[in-house]
Structure formats: C-alpha cells, structure tokens
Amino acid sequence: MDFELNEEQKAFQKVLRSFVDKEIMPVAIEWEHSGRYPTEIVDHMKAMGLFGITIPEEYGGLNLDMVSFCLVYEEIARGWMGIAGILGSHGLSAWMIAHHGTEDQKNSILPKLATGEWRTGIGLTEPGAGTDLQGIATTAKLDGDHYVVNGTKTWITNARHANVLPVLVKTDTQAEPRHKGMSVLLVDTTSEGFSVSKDIGKLGYKGTESCEVVLDNVRVPVTALLGGVEGRGMQQVLSGLEIGRLNIAARSVGIAQAAWDAALNYSKQREAFGKPISDFQAIQLKLAEIATNLQASRLLTYWAASKADNGERVDMEAGMAKYFASEAAIQASMEAMRVHGGYGYSTEYVVERLYRDSILMSIGEGTNDIMKTIIAKSLVSGQTSVK
C-alpha cells in the first residue's frame, strides 16, 4: 500500500505549485475584489495544456490519471478557487464528450477544447431543478433534422466564454421513468435564440462567471445529440459527475491547505504577551485540528482517485471524499479566521475569501446531504463496503 505520489506526479505537482505561487497568488486578492476576469491566468493555463486534462492524447489532450487530475484542482484552488472553477466545468464537459460522443463529435470538438481555443461548461441546473435533475423543464422537440430547444439553465460556469455547451434536455416529456426521456445536446452558443440573460451575484467563487442561460427556439442539428442516441442523457451526466466530485474534493483540499498555511504563518508572526501566539495551547489545538482534517481529506481524495484509475466505479468513494473534504475546508477556513482574530475578518487577508469559497464546496456537484445518501445507498445495497 503506497501513500506517496509517484515521481511523475511529484514533478507535475511541482510545476503546478510554481505556476500558482508566481501567477495566481500575487494577484488573487486584488483581482477578486475588483471583479477582474483572470485573462492572463487563463492564457497561461492554455499554454500549460490544462484545458486538455480530461481529453485523450489522440485529440491533443493530456489524458491525466485521476490523481494528477486532482493535483491540478488542489493546487489551483490553493491559490484561488474561482480559477479552478474555470477548468472544472470545462474538464467535466470534455470528459463527457470524450467518453460518450460520436467519433465525429470527438474529432470536431475535442482538439479545440484541448488547447483552450474553444471553451465549454455544462448546462444542467435550472431555476426549478437542481438536485432533482429529472425535474428539468428544458425541452428539445424534433423538427426535421434539428431539435428545437426551449428552456432556462442557471448557475452555468463559463457561460460567457463557452463555444459549445452540453445541455441536458427532455427529448421525450412522456417517458417513464423520466430519465429515459432525457438527452444531452451539444449546443453551439452562437446559435440564434441562445443568450446569457444575466450574471448571478455570489458570496464567493469569484474569478469566473455564473450565469443564467436562455434557450428560445434554438435549433440544434441532430448530429449534436451526444452519442447519437436519445434517452441516455442522465447516464452520461451522472458518469461525469463522478469525476466532478473528485474535482470538488480536490478543490476543498486546496482551500484547506491555503487556510492551514495562512493560520500557521500568521501564528508564528503574531505576538501576544511577549511571544508568538503559536506558543499558546489554544492556538496549537486549532492548528492540530486543521492539519489532521486536511491530511485526512487529501488521503480520501487520492484514494478515490486511485480507485477510479483502476477502472472502478467510485460513487461511494468520490462521495466520501467530496463530503469530508468540503466540510474540512469550511472548518479549516473558519478556524484560520479565528487564529487571525480581527484580521481574519479583513478583506486584506486571504482567509476571509477562503471561508466564502469553502461554502460552495459543500453544495456544488450535489449537496453534502445528497453525498451521504449516495454513500449509504452504496453500502446498504452491498455494491461496495468499507474495508
């Protein structure tokens, strides 16, 4: 049983860490507060090939193993979680196309996504349907060799920068069970009737936009049906959400790591009663708790990623990692604020942003209550066990 990264993963981590330290951390606070889009950082990520991390090499991607995939999100979230979000939706969408797309779809779309020439996200959530994706109202009616799509999607990351957007729709509104009437269409965002209606204001998760998208009689060619067969949309989406939860778990580890670094460094510099506050037991207890939960989160995440690399389904494992790591990130950022005292509440210090960003990790890619039901169902059904 090996709990260490291999040499290739260590080298990759070193490159990522250097990029984050030099290009992201020095500007994160200022750009987040000003609402500036991180164009230069995105361009650097393109040059590094990071937009192709889930795309096979034959289409120009890096085709990373899942542990290295997690390293990308961990390191970037350590610097600025919002930047990791730019890659997150793009990578999930690219993974879905690579695993479920037709050969024509893969050949025409993936090479452009791999370089970042094209960007993407994913259109799932609606104003009236989040956790219950079978409750979506967006429809796609066949009209000759096109689908006519009508509906609204919300909380769409990369909406203003996407060239193609996989959108979950109902191609058969009468199907029972409902998921058999659901499909994914690869929508060209330049299509007539496709519009981004508004940006959603957020507590955290700045740096990337989250938008409401309206599809008003958008005509989508039948060749854009993901996989070429109707009724497989829900399965395609759920398979992608498995790696999406690894992404969220890894981002949570990055947030917790940043909180730990900030708390430790501040506790060594700040003095009270003539000595560093790190000498006080009350502070030491907080540091110990952050560090322990951080390491447990990291091991859970890498464990789930390693099982995915072995070709196993990881519903339970990814659920455990996402649930535990996101809760640990919230705890770590809150305790780091307490270590900082009044300065922890100041926008001049990183910890207030870490707290704001950590909250989303307990909601994104399925709330933590949903994660617990997924874990329990896997255990009760006997499909997997805790060993």
Q: For the residues 44-56, what does the mean pLDDT come to?
A: 98
- Residue 179's SS3 state is helix
Residue 124 resides in a domain: no
Show the tokens assigned to 107. 């050949």
Q: How confident is the model at residue 131 (pLDDT cuts 50, 70, 90)?
A: confident
Q: Are residues 211 and 240 in the same domain?
A: no
| Whole-number Cα distances in Å, 89 to 41, 165, 299, 380 | 17, 10, 24, 31
Domain region containing 247: 235-381
Residue 126 resides in a domain: no
Q: For the residues 358-376, what does the mean pLDDT come to?
A: 95
Q: For the residues 24-50, what does the mean pLDDT come to?
A: 97
**Mean of pLDDT over the chain:** 96
Q: How confident is the model at residue 130 (pLDDT cuts 50, 70, 90)?
A: confident
Q: Are residues 54 and 92 in the same domain?
A: yes
Show the tokens assigned to 134. 């079978």
Per-residue confidence (pLDDT) for residue 15, from 0 to 100: 98
Buried b or exposed e, range 139-165, using 16+ CB within 10 angstroms? bbeeeeebbbbbbbbbbbbbbbbbebb
C-alpha neighbours within 13 Å on the C-beta side of residue 51 = 25
pLDDT tens by residue, 257-305: 999 999 999 999 999 999 999 999 999 999 999 999 999 999 999 999 9
Examine the pLDDT at 191 and tell me if it is beyond 90. yes
Placement of tokens 């005509």 in the chain: 219
Q: Are residues 333 and 243 in the same domain?
A: yes
Q: Are residues 320 and 203 in the same domain?
A: no
Per-residue confidence (pLDDT) for residue 3, from 0 to 100: 86
- For residue 378, the one-letter residue type is S
User: Which of these, 265, 317, 325, lies nearest to 293 by C-alpha position?
Assistant: 325
Percent of the chain past pLDDT 90, that is, above it, reads 96
Which of 81, 115, 149 is the last residue before a domain boundary?
115
Q: Who contacts 28 (Cβ-Cβ below 8 Å, separation ≥6)? A: 79, 80, 207, 350, 353
Q: Are residues 224 and 285 in the same domain?
A: no
Q: Are residues 342 and 274 in the same domain?
A: yes
Which of 206, 231, 256 is the last residue before a domain boundary?
231
In angstroms, the CA 143 to CA 218 distance is: 11
pLDDT tens by residue, 297-347: 999 999 999 999 999 989 999 999 999 999 999 999 999 999 999 999 999
What CATH number is associated with residue 359?
1.20.140.10
Residue 127 resides in a domain: no
User: Which of these, 309, 294, 313, lies nearest to 6 by C-alpha position?
Assistant: 309
Buried b or exposed e, range 260-297, using 16+ CB within 10 angstroms? bebbbebbeeeeeeeeebbeeeebeebbeebbebbeeb
Q: For the residues 13-26, what does the mean pLDDT come to?
A: 98
Q: Are residues 248 and 339 in the same domain?
A: yes
Q: Are residues 111 and 246 in the same domain?
A: no
- For residue 5, the one-letter residue type is L
Q: Model pTM?
A: 0.96
Backbone angles phi, psi at 384, to 5 degrees: -155, 170
Number of separate domains in the chain: 3
Examine the pLDDT at 1 and tell me if it is beyond 90. no
In angstroms, the CA 297 to CA 328 distance is: 7
DSSP label of 130: S
Whether 289 is a known active-site residue: answer no
Q: How many helices (H) and strands (E) does the chain have?
A: 11, 8
Residue 182 resides in a domain: yes
SS3 content of the chain, % helix, strand, coil (to 5): 60, 15, 25
**Whether the bond into 177 is cis, omega within 30 of 0:** yes
Q: Are residues 39 and 105 in the same domain?
A: yes
Percent of the chain past pLDDT 70, that is, above it, reads 98
Q: Are residues 240 and 359 in the same domain?
A: yes
In angstroms, the CA 46 to CA 171 distance is: 35
β-sheet bridge partners, residue 170: 139, 182
Q: For the residues 364-380, what does the mean pLDDT come to?
A: 94
User: Which of these, 236, 219, 218, lies nearest to 227 by C-alpha position?
Assistant: 236
Q: Are residues 81 and 49 in the same domain?
A: yes
Backbone angles phi, psi at 56, to 5 degrees: -60, 150
Residue 121 resides in a domain: no
Residue 123 resides in a domain: no
Residue 250 resides in a domain: yes
Residue 258 resides in a domain: yes
Q: For the residues 30-37, what does the mean pLDDT come to?
A: 95
In angstroms, the CA 259 to CA 350 distance is: 8
What CATH number is associated with residue 23?
1.10.540.10
Question: Which of 32, 126, 317, 365 is flagged as catalytic?
Answer: 365
Which run of H or of E encompasses 252?
A: helix 233-269
Q: Are residues 317 and 300 in the same domain?
A: yes
Which of 181, 215, 231 is the last residue before a domain boundary?
231
Examine the pLDDT at 46 and tell me if it is beyond 90. yes
Helix axes 351-361, 315-340, angle to 10 degrees: 160
Q: How confident is the model at residue 385 (pLDDT cuts 50, 70, 90)?
A: low
User: Which of these, 8, 39, 20, lies nearest to 77 by C-alpha position?
Assistant: 20
